[in-house]
Amino acid sequence: MLERLSYYFSFPLVRYALIVGLLVALCSSLLGVTLVLKRFSFIGDGLSHVAFGAMSVATVVDVTVKRVASGDNAFARWLTDIIEKTNSMVIVLPVTLLAAILLLRTGQNTKIKGDAALAMISVGSLAAGYMLINMFSASANVSGDVCSTLFGSTSILTLTLSEVWLSVGLAAVVIAIFLIFYKQIFAVTFDESFAQATGVKANGYNLLIAVITSLIVVLAMNLVGSLLISALIIFPALSAMRLFKSFRGVILCSAVVSVICAGSGLIASILFSTPVGSTIVTADMAVFLLFTILSKLLRRN
Amino acid sequence: MAEQLICRNVTLGYEGIPVTEGLDLTVSSGDYLCILGENGSGKSTLVKALLGLIPAMEGEIIRAGEISGGVGYLPQQTVVQKDFPASVREIVRSGCLKKAGMRPFYNKQEKALAEENMARLGISNLARRCYRELSGGQQQRVLLARALCATSKILLLDEPVTGLDPKAQADLYELIADLNRSGITMIMVSHDVSAVRYASHILHIGSKEQLFFGTREDYLASSLGRSFLITETGQADSLPETPPPPEPEEKTISTKTAAAAAAGLGLAAVGTGAAIYKYVKRGERNA
């Protein structure tokens, strides 16, 4: 088995996948604790659907531009080249960011309450995204495309070097923000009114949290696909909360759990050729079950 | 007695619509101000204004230099906190948030301050415990310790005893009174009448306007204070240093109280009457 693993790891694509996968798992688990505690876990879910919609738009734009530039002149070649080089993240990231900000605004005082607004946006973008792909996609295998966007399937194993660097950069930003504002994030998560009274701009930090969440959603789309992203965000946090009693303990445990699950899930999926996303999420679920049983046992003693 | 907080003819509200008008009050250092008012009378708006979260629409709120660094705040508990996995020490330390500024971690002085305040409120032994496993009274002590980390000058308490059992309520009131005696100014929002007993000043706001501001003695003597206390408890709150209401006690008090009082020494002496009332009240608490 080890031989097979080392054989697989001789491919750069597999190494890229592992690097990006672990980073994404680390980021999502760090923020997951805050999101779960602030009752924001639904935001991750909603955003991932928005990201799916944006992804479809990106695909359609891609196809359309290619069609427009079908001639054999210099301009057409230049345009095709640009499209090939730019990542779909150029469209997905800003759209998801915008949705995050909008959702947070609607969470406060509006006529449509937070959860309803979220359901509306997420289901709406899911439907619109599927429709767009169906209508305009040039690909022969539309359901395969959709399936790979929703469940990730193989996209983590087809990352280019520039995508890896982009992911590493985004992950570094998320981790840095989390470390620098750890105190404030704790204060805002635990008690918004107190934080505000001591001069912390609570709404600003809520916005920051939403922005980081959308970054993570976009990053995680490659790893587990857009439907499974919230599993990556909430499971490690919930598992850690079963056993640990301090905020720091919960965060550290959640990070460790998430990284281990992502790593073992990735390797297992390569060895047994199972879908990456669902293998990782299954590992997360198993740990959650284990921790729940453990906490029951510990409480009894 | 230095004045710490002055409101002059302040109007508060949201988006141009006034909630409370004509607030005039002065809080000096060492005062214990109790803010009374029915639901919807603008107590929470006033709290926000005193914390500096919303500006006054009219009039001015003047803060003395020593409290410009912030007011220690004990907010009402939220649902989020009920099952929050955080140790007591982490929560108390978060009171030093403003002192630490943009520094990513707390330094030695701030950590020492947190330990000191935990000791002061008798929760040092809970430092490593998880907040969600504590009793309601212990949780309030943790939040008080956190507020003390933010300031040692003035505390603003928003309905601190809500949801506590009577014993824990009494303990918390005593604790707050102790802190007040050690020189910390207290501003407490409450709709619980027993809060009045400990206060030095009372602010009573009705819908849209200020009904009373002054010392507790004046309040108890005023017809407003008397009617408020009677409607809330079914009888006037007898305090050792103020004469209890004259005779009609037997008509307003509950049968339980009456029976206990009759079984006791009788209602002859005013002082004894008050003592019995207190005794009975304690009995009810323990029941």
The domain spans of chain B are: 1-71+152-233, 81-150, 235-286
Chain B CB contacts of A186 under 8 Å are 86, 90, 94
Distance from CA of B51 to the nearest CA of A (A): 6
pTM of the shown model: 0.79
Contact A37 B104 (CB under 8 A): no
Nearest-by-Cβ selection for B97 from A198, A248, A250: A198
Q: Which residue of A has its CA nearest to B106?
A: A183
Strands B208-215 and B72-74: unpaired
**Token code pair at residue A40:** 């924001």
Residue B146, chain A, CB below 8 Å: the answer is yes
Distance from CA of B199 to the nearest CA of A (A): 23
Q: Which residue of A has its CA nearest to B98?
A: A198
Q: Which of B94, B17, B54 is nearest to A183 (CA)?
A: B94
Distance from CA of B166 to the nearest CA of A (A): 25
Chain B CB contacts of A250 under 8 Å are 85
**DSSP states of B48-90 as a string?**
HHHHTSS--SEEEEEE-GGGTT--EEEPPP-HHHHT---BHHH
The tens place of each residue's pLDDT in chain B, 287 residues long, gives 578 888 888 888 887 788 888 888 888 888 899 888 877 778 888 888 888 888 888 888 888 776 666 778 888 888 778 788 999 999 999 988 888 878 888 889 889 999 999 998 889 999 889 998 888 889 999 999 999 998 878 889 988 888 888 888 888 898 999 888 888 889 998 877 777 888 888 888 887 777 788 888 888 888 777 777 766 655 544 444 444 444 444 444 444 444 454 444 444 444 444 444 444 444 444 44
B180: left (phi over 0), alpha (psi -120 to 50) or beta: alpha
User: Which CATH architecture group holds A2-300?
Assistant: Orthogonal Bundle (1.10)
Nearest-by-Cβ selection for A247 from B76, B86, B98: B86
Angle, CA of A174, A180 and A185, to the nearest 5°: 80
Nearest-by-Cβ selection for B85 from A183, A191, A250: A250
Distance between CA atoms of B237 and B249, rounded to whole angstroms?
11
Q: Is A119 exposed, middle or buried (0-12, 13-18, 19+ CB in 10 A)?
A: middle
Q: Which residue of A has its CA nearest to B49?
A: A197
Residue B100, chain A, CB below 8 Å: the answer is yes
Q: Which fold has domain B1-71+152-233?
A: Rossmann fold (3.40.50)
The domain spans of chain A are: 2-300
Q: How many CB atoms lie within 10 A of CB A174?
A: 23
Distance from CA of A24 to the nearest CA of B (A): 23
